[in-house]
Structures are given as C-alpha cells and as structure tokens.
Chains A and B, each alone.
Chain A
Amino acid sequence: MTTRSYAAARRTLSFGDKLLDVNWGLVLLITIIASAGFAMLYSVAGGSFHPWALPQMVRFIIGLILLIAIAMVDIRVWMSLAYPLYGAALLLLLATTIMGKVGGLGAQRWLELGPLQIQPSELMKISLVLALSRYLHGQPVEDISKPLKLLIPLAMIGVPAVLVLMQPNLGTAMILCADGASLLFLAGLSWWWILPTVGAGVAAVPIAWRFMHDYQRQRVLTFLNPSSDALGAGWNISQAEIAVGSGGLAGKGYMQGTQSRLNFLPEKETDFIWTVLGEEFGFVGCIAMLLLFAVVIAYGIRIAMASRSQFGRLLATGITLNFFFYIMINASMVMGLIPVVGIPMPLISYGGTAMLTVMVGFGLLMSVHVHRQVEIPRHSSGLM
C-alpha cells in the first residue's frame, strides 16, 4: 500500500517538489562543460567575447531555462507528444529536402520560417528518440524481433535517415541510425538480427561507396591518406592533428594556441573547437574534459536505470547515447580517427541549433529523472 500511495503521490507532484527534485548535480556538470566552451570561444576570438562567446552564453542560458521547463513537464505528456513531434519533424525534413531540390541548391539543411532558421535534422534526433521509445515501450521483448513488428521502427529510423542523407548530411544520418539501432538493441532485439546485420553492413561498404557524393568520397580518401593532399582536403586533418599533438602534456597555455590564433585550423570555433582545447590545455585538459563527458553519460545511464517505465529508460538512454555519439564522432574526426563529417562537439562548439538540441535533450533526460517513479502501463499512450 505504501508504494501505491507513493506512486499516486508522484502523479500529483507539486511544481516546487519537482524543482527540488531536479538533478542539480547534472545541471552543474553541464554548466561547467559549457563554461569551458565559453572559455575556448573567448580564446579563439583572440581574447574577446565577440563574436562567439557572448552569443553562446546567451543561448546556453536560454537552453538552461528550456531544460528546466521541459523537466517540469510530466513524462507522460512527452510520451503522448512523441508521435506528433516525430510527424512534425518528418514533415519539416521533407520540406527542407524538397525545397533544397526544387530551389536548385546542392545542400539544404536549413528551413527558413519567418525570422527563425531551424534545422529539422536536429529536431529529428530528439523526435526519433522520443517516438522510438514510445513505440518500443509498447512492445514486449519477444515481439520486438518479429519481422513484421520490426518493420515499423526500421521505417521510423530509415525514412528520416535517407532524407537527411539526401540533404546531404552524412554525419547526422549516421547519428540517427546509431540512435535508432541503440534503442532497438536496448529494447532487446534478438542477437539473430544483430549479428547478421553487422556482417551485412561490413559487406555493404563497397556498395555504399558507390552512392557517396564526390565530396564524401574525397573526405574518406583524404582520411585514409592525409598527406596525399596536404595543402588541399588533407589540410584540415593535418592541421587539426598538429594542433592537438603540439599541445603535449600540459598544453601551450590559455590563449597561447598558435594553430588556432593564426588560422591554421579550419572552423576552429565550431567543429574543430576540440583541437583548440587540445592545443592550449594539452593531454591533461583533454582527459579532464573526456572525464566530464563520461560523468554526464554515467548520470544519464543512472537516470535510465532508476526510471520505473520502459519509455523513461529508453528515452534517457537514447538521449544519453545521442550525446555520446556527438562526442565520439566529433573527437574521432578532429583527431584523425574517422573521415571529416560535420558534427559539432556538444555544449562546446559554437552554434545555436546544436546547443538548443542538446539542452532540450537534457531537459527530457531531466524529466525522466524527475518523474522516475511514474509507472506507465505497456498499453498506455501517455496521458490519453
């Protein structure tokens, strides 16, 4: 009876209780990481809040407010909004892709809505995690691996991934697929599906090669042999490696990075911000930052494990893994482990959409945390 009353009480948690229940440790951690980002942006601007550090701070504060606001909303509301949000994101993505094709522009990632510039592919990352979590919440383990039942989540992943790939935005498509695959895996997809798929994926590499854009192939080729084109496409990778490597153990010191200050680094304030960290704070600084990221991920996993609903667990893990994939792809890319794909470093790289997407994600994660005691029946569709 005690648990039942406890659960019932949770259903009607007051706003103040919820606010107290927010995982303020995680919020602090996020703020520390973002602040390190502000410091980096201040540095690459040559010791100035303009043009990057100040707007980034403003966006972070907006993001923080958004995070708390989303955390306050009942997880069942998010569950009931999962499909509509996914549908909206898909429509926007479709619109972007079509407008891109019709407009005759090669690459179209932005959608102009009045004064707003939104990137539907970013919206899709969150929506996909939400929608898949909701779908998988309703499936018992033994149903997930049934071929017909599997078609639905695969389509939910595949359609937006293909649309994003057509933009073309290989990096985001990869993250969408990784997010989706992770959720299917966590929900208990049979190893009989997983292992053959991985095998087929390896076999499909040559086929994928044929469908790649020239610039994508060029990136791969350059990645495999950066020195072949040391002044052209290999330049980015070489200079990024030089920047990180030259940091050594303790770095050159704050605002002393020559590679960034002298413009040897491309896109130093966005995708390549990690190299500035590596150059100015060295091995010690980079490991410290990786540890901070790891703690955030650990927080996320713990939140997932503590959730009493499958939706909550999948959502929290999906958001956390989405965050992790950003880090993995960005760090690997700038350190020459994988080809260059346009993925920013979360919380640190300059950029409004990425910052807001990450903060919205953390907001959902926090909502899972705040509403961890909420139980949702398997056949429930949220509040409805």
Chain B
Amino acid sequence: MAIFDRKDKSRYATFTRRTLLMTGGVNVVFAVLAGRLYQLQILHGDEFMTRAEENRVSQRLVAPLRGRILDRFGVELASNRRNYRVLIVKEQAAEGVDAAIETIGKLIYLSDHQREKVKRDIANNKPFAPVPVAENLSWDEFARINLHLPYLPGIQPDVGETRAYPYGPELSHILGYVASVSPEDMKGDDDPLLDIPGFRIGKRGIEKEFEADIRGKAGASRVEVNAYGRVIRELGHDAGTPGSDVFLTIDQQVQQFAAQRLGNESAACAVLDVSNGDVISLVSSPGYDPNAFNVGISQAEWNALTTDDHKPLINKVITGEYPPGSTFKPVLATACMDNGLADLQVNCSGSMTLGNNVFHCWSWKKGGHGHVDLKRGIAVSCDIFFYEAAKRLGIDKIHDTAIAMGLGGKTGIELPGERPGLIPSREWKLKRFGVPWQQGETLNTGIGQGYVTATPIQLATLAARIASGNAVSPRITRYIGHNDQPRPQINRLPFSDSALAAVQQGMNMVANVPGGTAYAWRITQPGFEMAGKTGTAQVRRITREDRATGHVGNANQPWKLREHALFIAYAPVQLPRYALGIIMEHGATPDHPHVQMARDILLFAQQRDPVKLPNAYPVNAADRGTNKVRG
C-alpha cells in the first residue's frame, strides 16, 4: 500500500469536511432561489399577473359609424364610404418618420402639404398613436402599399369609414361638413373619441347642429399587443353605438333643381311646405364642395373660398339679412285690412311729400300708377299707396303685423348661425340710437326699406303664412334616428280671413293678371299657377342727383352697387302647397331672372307631387286591377 500515504488520508478528511461545507453553501443558494420564486410567484403573483395583462392587453377606441343624413324619401345626402388609408406609428418606424414618408411617397403620390401635415400630426400625438399619412386611396394604391408592407416598418394599412357627400356643393349649406378636430373643439367636449387621430366632427350645418346625435358612442377594441405594440389579435370588440340617422324634410330632387337653377349667381332660395313648414329646398349659391373639407382643404382652396365676393361659405338663406323691399308690402296690406283701411284708395302721381321730404314711387318716371286700391297696390307694387298706408297705420301696427308674419326674429330652423333680421319699433330706435322714431322712417319701413331686414328663410315663411293662414315655421328635420322631431304647434294667424283673402288676391294679380309686376314670368300650366310679390332692395340710397341725371338703372352700376332682387311666392294659387322666398344679390334687372328661377322651381316642385303626374299609359278597364296608377 505504498501509494496510499498518511498525507492522502488527511487531505481526504479535509476534502470531505470542506465538501460538506460547500454543499451547505449550495443548499443555502438553492434556498435563496426558492425563496425568490416564492416571493415573485406566490406573494406578488397577482400583482405581476396584472402587469403581464397590462403588457398584453391594449384598449383601443373604436370610432362609431357616423349617422347618415337622408332626404324626405330616404335618399342618402351624407353617407359613409370605405376609406382606404395608410397610417404611420412613430415608435415603430424603425428608420424614422421622414424615411418612412419618403418610402411611401415612392409608392403613392404625396403632396408637400400632406407630408407637412403628417409631420405636424406626429409631433402632436403620442409616439404609439397611428397617424394617417394618406386617405381615400384607390384600390390600386392601397394594394401597392400592402404589397410593400414587409419593407415598411411602422406603416399600417387601414380600412376606415369616411364621410361622403354624393351631391357635393348643392347641399353644402344644409349639411355643412365634417373636418378634423381642432383644439377649440376639445374645450367643453370630453368625449374620448376626439382624441382619435383622424377623427372628424361636424363643423357646419346639420353635421354641426346634430353632432351629438350623429356621432354615436365610442366603442372599444381590446387587443393583444406584443412588445413592439403590434396587434396580435382582438380579444373583444364593442363596435360602439352608431350615430343616429337624420331624416330631413328636404326633397333632394327639388334641391338639385333649385341649385342648378340658381347657378353661380350670388343668390338664396328656400321652398317650404305651407301646411307644416317643412323645408323642401334650401339653396344658397354659390356652394362649396363639403368633401374637400373632409379630405383636408389646401390653403389656396381656402383662400379662394374666403375671398370670393359671392361668399360661397355663407349660408345666405339663414344668415343673409336683406331689406325686404316690396316683398314687405303684403304685411302692410294685411295690417290695413284688419285696421280699418280695407277701402284705402290712393291716387299715385309718382311722388308724395311729407314735411320737407319728397317720397317717390318706383314708377315716378311714367307719372305714377294713378288710381290704386289695396289689391292693385300689391299687383303693381305702388309705393305711394303703401307710403300712405304706412303713414296711417303707424309703426306700432306695422311692427306687430310683421312679427306675427314671422319676421324680426329667428324662425328656429335647425341650422346653426341663423340671424333674426330686424323689424324696427319705437323702443328699438330709442334704445339703439337714443332718438325717437320719425314718421318718415315709418314710410320707408312701409316699402320694406330703412331699418327693416329679413332673411330669405323669413321671406319664405312670410309667403307660407299668407298662403296657409297658419303660423307655420320652417323645420328641416323630420326624424332623428327613430324619434320624431318635435314640431311647434301651428296656430291660426291673428288676422281675419278676409284680410288674408285680399292679400292672396293681390298676390295672385301680381303674377296672373296683366299689369302685375311678375305677369311676364307667370306659370302658364293650368292648375300650377303661382301667386307672388316682387321686390327690389336698394343697396345705396338713390340721390336727387341720380334722379336728375337718370342715373338709376342698374345696368349702369358696378355689380356691387346694383339693387338686390327679391321675390316671394306660393303655388298653386288654389289650395297652396309650396311657398318660396328668393333673393338674388345685386340682381335687379328688367328681365327679372330671380322670378324666372322661382317660377321654374315652384313648377318643378309641384310636378314632383305624385297626384299631379299624368298617367304614363292610358288606364283601361283590362289592367285596372293589376296596374296601379304610376307614381
């Protein structure tokens, strides 16, 4: 046993001792590891579970489908269409946002304007929020992006919904438009939807007025995301509550016809149903393309819209306050009938004097209208008759009658920005100017000049009230979703039937009796005839010098200084159905284009009425059971 020495035995003992010691150390380490596991998994397991879930699950708001806007027959005036778009997520764009935009720019066209907007939006949003780069792509463009997706980190193709206005400018002033949320919109509206990049809200018109109903309620998508924020799968989806559809009283066909008829004139026209005030058509021209605002309007386009002297962005029907001119005379006529002046007769020589002032009739050149009673006064629009009537009635009675006719206050139409117009009174004058009312001002008021202003919608209301004898007010919505829109109760006007009948006869004579101011442009089809009242509103005061030099004709004036042309009408004369108010800015010319427009629009509207359509085929006894009358 030479190879085993004592020393080896002693070091074996040492080795054993130390190994046991070392094993103890190993056990301590294992105990520490087990303790750490216990601490992490048992003591704090729930807490870490929550954090793992927070890692994994991301809540994303889902924009609800915006409610549609439809006309009275269910034609879609504002709808949603598929919007192929490209989004960029900053934190996922591995080579930086600029490089990513550059790459996209090689696949689809991106304007400088778009590029700047994307960079701005990215700066304003959180790094993980998807920001739209391009929207409304064609299928080809969208497919191209999808094809190159593996080389486009941070780029997400997306199919969204976008607002579409299929009829473009013709409904622009009714519908308004939707556009991106501005910082001002965020104030006072804490709907989380507004934080979604690319979200659109109503900015004008019905879109704005009924924004709360149309928008709907936000949905949510619970998605599983990986460490890079990429969505792996959807865990739960709540589509939210879609916005309510808004049904308008508008008849798209009449609207389209009216818009085409007004063309590019600076004009405004409203057509009402006289029985209940339903707005059949409401056109302010020129219009603008609401789709442009949705996509994002360029500075140049915006400048063009705001600097146009025809003011395409203004809804003249409800915000344009014009002197009503002679269209105000039926108000005076009504007041006369119920205030003991039914038999007022005047001899018009072309002018009359009050104090030091000379008041002229528009017919002063021809030597006046001669003998004029109330109905003829309306028919030939004799100023002298209504000066006299105004002088005798006094401003108080004129004021009260005008108010009852729906003037001098907002009609309550469901569109934002309506203006009240003005019917002056003694109190108003004193409060406004601090001086008492003058009788000369009563005379000016009598022919719809001076302080009096009215909006085209008020003029249409005036026509509807005269035609129906009821205090109808214009309403443009029928239902919101499944709910009827509340309507004001319709009361009888506080005028006698004989008063209204006389005014109606006078307005009939305007259009249908030779010598009436609109006779040349009457509706000749039997059963469709209209009654009306013409008017012109001075934009500048006609001076004595003008009269002396004959410098009165509008043709000699620059466009801006020409008189406004107005017309109120209703049709048919028997059992009136539609009332109309129209104004053509600086449009007073001898051929009365605005009356021609009114005539065509009223005729078209009446012909839309199914009962008025002639049978397309002769109805004979053989097919009478099976074939219903067309329409």
Contact = CB atoms under 8 A, between A and B. Distances in A.
Contact of A378 (B8, B19, B47): B8
Contact of A247 (B15, B34, B41, B232): B41
Interface stretch (A27-35, A166-174, A329-337): A329-337
Contact of B14 (A141, A290, A294, A317): A141
Interface string A225-254: 000000000000001011111111100000
A264 interface: yes
Contacts of A246: 45, 48-49, 51-52
Interface string B15-39: 1101100110010011011101110
A244 B40 CA distance: 7
Nearest to A241: B40
A249 B53 CA distance: 17
A100 interface: no
Contacts of B51: 242, 245-246
Contacts of A305: 16, 19
A335 B48 contact: no
9 contacts: A244-B48, A247-B41, A248-B46, A258-B224, A259-B52, A262-B232, A263-B228, A282-B41, A335-B36
Interface string A138-168: 0011000000000000000000000000000
A339 interface: no
B8 A258 contact: no
B40 A294 contact: no
Interface stretch (A67-75, A181-189, A206-214, A348-356): A181-189
Contact of B45 (A249, A310, A313): A249
Contact of B36 (A282, A294, A337): A337
B52 A242 contact: yes
A297 interface: yes
B7 interface: yes
A187 B40 CA distance: 38
A172 B19 CA distance: 23
Contacts of A293: 30
B496 interface: no
Given A258-B55, A328-B33, A249 B224 contact: no
Nearest to A304: B19
B622 interface: no
A21 interface: no
A331 B37 CA distance: 10
> Chain B binding site: helix, strand, loop or mixed by DSSP?
helix
A175 B8 CA distance: 28
Given A290-B33, A328-B29, A245 B41 contact: yes
Most buried by B among A140, A185, A239, A246: A246
B226 A263 contact: yes
Nearest to B10: A141
Given A141-B10, A331-B33, A313 B224 contact: no
A290 B30 CA distance: 7
Contact of B15 (A188, A328, A335): A188
Interface string A286-313: 1100100110010001001100001001
B431 interface: no
A89 to B, nearest CB: 25
A310 B40 contact: no
Contacts of B45: 245-249, 283
A278 interface: yes
A294 B30 contact: yes
B225 A262 contact: yes
Contacts of B228: 263
Given A187-B14, A242-B51, 14 more contacts: A141-B7, A188-B14, A239-B55, A242-B48, A245-B45, A248-B41, A249-B41, A258-B53, A287-B34, A287-B37, A290-B34, A304-B19, A310-B11, A324-B29
B230 to A, nearest CB: 9
A248 B42 contact: yes
Contact of A259 (B15, B34, B36, B55): B55
Interface string A106-123: 000000000000000000
A375 B46 CA distance: 57
A51 interface: no
A377 interface: yes
A378 B7 contact: yes
A310 B42 contact: no
Most buried by A among B4, B10, B41: B41
Contacts of B227: 239, 262-264
Interface in B369-384: none
Contact of B3 (A263, A336, A375): A375
Interface string B127-168: 000000000000000000000000000000000000000000
A39 interface: no
A69 B337 CA distance: 127
Interface in B227-263: 227-228, 232
Contacts of A141: 7, 10-11, 14
Contacts of A321: 22, 26
A186 B17 CA distance: 8
A108 B510 CA distance: 103
Interface string A72-89: 000000000000000000
B11 A188 contact: yes
- Nearest first, the 5 closest Cβ-Cβ pairs linking A and B are A245-B48, A246-B52, A248-B45, A262-B226, A188-B14
A258 B52 contact: yes
A246 B45 CA distance: 5
Nearest to B20: A301
B112 interface: no
Given A248-B49, A262-B226, A337-B32, A242 B15 contact: no
